[in-house]
Amino acid sequence: MSSRTSDVLVVGGGIIGLVTAWRAAQRGLTAAVVDPEPGGGAAQVAAGMLAAVTELHYGEQTLLGLNLASAHRYPAFAAELTELTGHDLGYRRCGTLAVALDADDRAHLRELHALQRQSGLESEWLSGRECRRLEPMLAPGVRGGLRVDGDHQIDPRRLTRALLVACERAGVLFHRTWARRLRVVRDRAAGVTTTDGAELAADQVVLAAGSLSGRLEGVPEALLPPVRPVKGQVLRLTVPQRHAPFLSRTVRAVVRGSHVYLVPRESGELVIGATSEELGWDTTVTAGGVYELLRDAHELVPGITELPLTETRAGLRPGSPDNAPLLGPTDLPGLLLATGHYRNGVLLTPVTGDALAHALTTGELPEAARPFTPGRFLKSVEQPA
Ligand code: GLY
């Protein structure tokens, strides 16, 4: 049995865990990550839309504040990571066009537009013809849309690679194994025991294991994060050079109640997503999922059927009860959370890294992140009679 000590041990090496370890190390803390495959996780599947405005929902104005704060940090965050690592992140300030195909979709989009304007967000209503002028590949049946120039994109796979390099350069240590159990010593989180029997000691532990975050043994029942897996199937197509430019910005819609989006990258990759399925830990790519995505995307952009289909994959979003993340200290000293980012993990990466680094060094969340404290879901523990 080995024992290694760090100031901070991050459980989970997806983008949220990596950005937390990197930012902590930049602040002078010794940081380690425990994950059998750092750089894996939902970001390997995600399309990478930075969709604070087009994914706004009623009742989620508090989350909007955090989403906008993170979107605002993206240019400097991406520039810093690229400067440090030499990796281009595919950060593309291309904007988004949300379109409607029928009267119901149009009514839905009109409501979204009203909500966006009430919230002080920039979004412009366009006729079907104006949409097609912007994106000539759109179907003739498009009845109108919202032009949101502030919703951009990044390539999550490139972001992951850059974060791995940034962590390595900052001296973050990687333990390529599973964390099995949280170690609690004198009422304080003190590290984890791994599945291969090692004890990794740390002054503070950050649980950042995405949809798996509720499964670490040894976390007191009342503090287990209430995250659940929400499956998303995603397709990747390739736009051959002769077809370029196919789409110049992200195009999305709600078709018969399901979200579909097409995210064009400068590399020629065209990402089509995503299903949203409550099926536990299942990550099977199904014929039905692929069919529905292609059917809906084809209604928006008929020309996609010409393109090679290069990849189909499913990932698990870490859903939380209010669709917002759980950030910062818990009631167990030394245990912090960075999980439950649901549909916004890529968008929220910069602000999460900053918030967790602040919490790890000061013991408190910065103002912008305070509404997302894990305490809002605290379960009452029954007292013995
Ligand atoms: N934010 C896109 C998705 O979760 O599918």
**Model confidence pLDDT, tens digit, residues 283-299:** 999 999 999 999 999 99
The pLDDT tens digits for 174-230 are 999 999 999 999 999 999 999 999 999 999 999 999 999 999 999 999 999 999 999
The pLDDT tens digits for 259-291 are 999 999 999 999 999 999 999 999 999 999 999
Structural tokens at position 385: 């009679």
Q: How confident is the model at residue 382 (pLDDT cuts 50, 70, 90)?
A: low
Interval between CA 274 and ligand 1 midpoint (Å): 7
Instruction: Kindly state the average pLDDT of the residues 309-334.
Output: 98
CATH topology match: 6-44+158-225+321-382 vs 228-319? no
Q: How confident is the model at residue 378 (pLDDT cuts 50, 70, 90)?
A: confident
Interval between CA 344 and ligand 1 midpoint (Å): 7
Closest atom of ligand 1 to CA, residue 259: 5
Q: Where exactly are the structural domains of the chain?
A: 6-44+158-225+321-382, 96-149, 228-319
Do residues 206 and 360 touch, judged by C-beta distance below 8 A? yes
317 lines ligand 1 (CB under 6 A): yes
Instruction: Kindly state the average pLDDT of the residues 119-140.
Output: 97
Instruction: Kindly state the average pLDDT of the residues 35-47.
Output: 97
What pTM does this model have? 0.96
Q: Where are the alpha helices (DSSP H) in 42-200?
A: 61-85, 103-118, 128-134, 156-169
Q: How far apart are CA 130 and CA 116, in angstroms?
A: 20
Residue 363, pLDDT above cutoff 80: yes
Whole-number average pLDDT of the chain: 95
Interval between CA 343 and ligand 1 midpoint (Å): 4
Q: How far apart are CA 268 and CA 228, in angstroms?
A: 33
Sign of dihedral through CA atoms 201, 202, 207, 210? negative
Which of 40, 14, 62, 42 minimizes the C-alpha distance to 283? 42
Closest atom of ligand 1 to CA, residue 317: 4
Structural tokens at position 266: 């400068």
Q: What percent of the chain has pLDDT over 70?
A: 97
Q: How far apart are CA 179 and CA 198, in angstroms?
A: 9
Alpha carbon nearest to ligand 1 atom 5, residue: 274
49 lines ligand 1 (CB under 6 A): yes
Alpha carbon nearest to ligand 1 atom 2, residue: 343
- Non-local (6+) Cβ contacts of 193 within 8 A are 179, 180, 181, 183, 199, 200, 218
Residue 240 identity (one-letter amino acid):
P
Q: How many CB atoms lie within 10 A of CB 73?
A: 17
Positions of E strands within 208-297: 228-238, 250-255, 258-264, 269-273
The pLDDT tens digits for 81-120 are 999 999 999 999 999 999 999 999 999 999 999 999 999 9
- Non-local (6+) Cβ contacts of 237 within 8 A are 269, 270, 271, 272, 304, 307, 308, 309, 310
Interval between CA 68 and ligand 1 midpoint (Å): 16
Helix 156-169 crosses helix 61-85 at what angle (to 10 degrees)?
60
274 lines ligand 1 (CB under 6 A): yes
CA dihedral 150, 40, 323, 183 (to 10 degrees): -140
Alpha carbon nearest to ligand 1 atom 1, residue: 343
341 lines ligand 1 (CB under 6 A): no
Q: How far apart are CA 13 and CA 17, in angstroms?
A: 5
Q: How confident is the model at residue 1 (pLDDT cuts 50, 70, 90)?
A: very low
Tell me yes or no: is domain 228-319 CATH 3.30.9.10. yes
Instruction: Ligand 1 pocket test: pick from 15, 55, 57, 323 the residue with the most ligand atoms within 8 Å of its Cβ.
Output: 55
- Non-local (6+) Cβ contacts of 59 within 8 A are none
Alpha carbon nearest to ligand 1 atom 4, residue: 343
Interval between CA 282 and ligand 1 midpoint (Å): 17
Interval between CA 345 and ligand 1 midpoint (Å): 9
Do residues 14 and 348 touch, judged by C-beta distance below 8 A? no
Interval between CA 338 and ligand 1 midpoint (Å): 18
Please state the separation of Cα 258 from the chain's center in Å: 19
273 lines ligand 1 (CB under 6 A): yes
Q: How confident is the model at residue 3 (pLDDT cuts 50, 70, 90)?
A: low
232 lines ligand 1 (CB under 6 A): yes
Closest atom of ligand 1 to CA, residue 273: 5
Can you identify the CATH homologous superfamily of domain 6-44+158-225+321-382?
Answer: FAD/NAD(P)-binding domain (3.50.50.60)
Closest atom of ligand 1 to CA, residue 342: 4
